[in-house]
Amino acid sequence: MRNNLAAVGIWVAVLFLVLTTLPLILSGYWLKILTNIIMFAVLAQSCNIISGYTGYPALGNVVFFGLGAYSTAILMNRIGAPFPLALLAAGLISGLYAAVLGLPILKTKGHYFVMATLGVNEATRELVNNLDFLTGGGIGMSLPIPDRSIQSFYILIYFTMLVILVSCTLLVHFVSRSPFGFALRAIRANEQAAGVMGINTTLCKTGAWVASAFFTGLAGGVYAYWLTYIESQVVFSIIIGVKFFVILLLGGAGTVFGPLLGAFMFQIIDQFIWGAFPEFHLGVLGLLMIMVVIFVPNGLLRLFETRIWFPAKGLFQALGVMGTRAGRSEKG
Amino acid sequence: MALLQVKDVTVGFGGVKALNGLSFEVNQGEIFGVIGPNGAGKTTLLNVVSGIIRPSAGEILYRGRLVSGLPTHTITRLGVGRVFQITQPFHGLTVRENVLVGAYFGTRKSSTSTVDVDAILELVGMDKLASRPVSELSVAMRKRLEFARALALRPDLLLLDEVMAGLAPTEVDYLTGIVKRINREGITIVMVEHVMRAVMATCRRVLVMHLGKHLAVDAPEAVTRDNRVIEVYLGRRYAERMAGTAGEKRG
Ligand SMILES: Nc1ncnc2c1ncn2[C@@H]1O[C@H](COP(=O)(O)OP(=O)(O)OP(=O)(O)O)[C@@H](O)[C@H]1O
Ligand SMILES: [Mg+2]
- How close is the Cα of B85 to the center of ligand 2, in Å? 6
Mean pLDDT score, A317-327: 48
Ligand 1, atom nearest to B194 Cα: 25
pLDDT over threshold 90, residue A126: yes
Residues facing A79 on adjacent strands: none
Q: How many domains does chain B have?
A: 2
Q: Do residues B117 and B103 touch, judged by C-beta distance below 8 A?
A: yes
Render B184-216 in DSSP notation, one character per residue.
HTT-EEEEE-S-HHHHHHH-SEEEEEETTEEEE
Do B232 and B113 share a domain, yes or no? no
Do B33 and B51 share a domain, yes or no? yes
Name the residue with the closest Cα to ligand 1, atom 26. Answer: B38
Do B37 and B150 share a domain, yes or no? no
Q: How many Cα atoms within 13 Å fall on the side-chain side of residue A192?
A: 13
Instruction: Give the residue among A136, A129, A162 at the shortest CA–CA distance from A73.
Output: A136
Do B137 and B74 share a domain, yes or no? no
Ligand 1, atom nearest to B37 Cα: 25
The answer to whether B71 contacts A202, with C-beta atoms less than 8 Å apart, is yes
Mean pLDDT score, B119-126: 92
CATH number of the domain encompassing residue B163: 3.40.50.300
Do B93 and B68 share a domain, yes or no? no
The answer to whether B77 contacts A196, with C-beta atoms less than 8 Å apart, is no
Lowest-pLDDT choice from A15-19, A230-234, A314-318, B204-208: A314-318
Do B135 and B249 share a domain, yes or no? no
Rounded to the nearest integer, the mean pLDDT of chain B is 87
Chain B residue closest to A188 (CA)?
Answer: B90
More confident call, B79 vs A309 = B79
Out of B154, B185, B204, a domain closes at B154
Q: Is the CB of B41 under 6 A from ligand 1?
A: yes
Q: Is residue B84 part of a domain?
A: no
Residue B90 has its nearest CB partner, among A190, A202, A254, at A190
- How close is the Cα of B78 to the center of ligand 1, in Å? 26
Return d(Cα A130, Cα A124) in angstroms, integer: 10
Pair type for strands B4-13 and B31-35: unpaired
The answer to whether A195 contacts B88, with C-beta atoms less than 8 Å apart, is no
Out of B154, B178, B193, a domain closes at B154
Q: Is residue B207 part of a domain?
A: yes
Whole-angstrom CA distances from A115 to A57, A213, A232, A316, B14 are 10, 17, 20, 49, 26
- How close is the Cα of B27 to the center of ligand 1, in Å? 26
Ligand 1, atom nearest to B192 Cα: 22
Q: Is residue B116 part of a domain?
A: yes
- How close is the Cα of A159 to the center of ligand 1, in Å? 58
Mean pLDDT score, A200-223: 97
Mean pLDDT score, A297-311: 69
Out of B139, B154, B169, a domain closes at B154
Name the residue with the closest Cα to ligand 1, atom 3. Answer: B13
Q: Is the CB of B13 under 6 A from ligand 1?
A: yes
Mean pLDDT score, B146-155: 92
Q: Which fold, A2-327?
A: ABC transporter involved in vitamin B12 uptake, BtuC (1.10.3470)
pLDDT at A136: 86
Sign of CA dihedral B212, B216, B220, B223: negative
Q: For chain A, what are the domain ranges? A: 2-327
pLDDT at A328: 46
Q: How would residue A284 be classed by pLDDT, with cut points 50, 70 and 90?
A: confident
pLDDT over threshold 70, residue A218: yes
For residue B93, what are the domain limits? 89-154
Q: What percent of chain A has pLDDT over 90?
A: 62
Instruction: Give the residue among B100, B52, B101, B57 at the shortest CA–CA distance from B80.
Output: B52
Do B132 and B198 share a domain, yes or no? no
pLDDT over threshold 80, residue B242: no
pLDDT over threshold 80, residue A37: yes
pLDDT at B108: 66
pLDDT at A330: 40
Q: How would residue B250 be classed by pLDDT, with cut points 50, 70 and 90?
A: very low
Q: Is the CB of B48 under 6 A from ligand 1?
A: no
Kindly report the nearest CA distance between residue B227 and chain A, in angstroms: 37
Do B182 and B200 share a domain, yes or no? yes
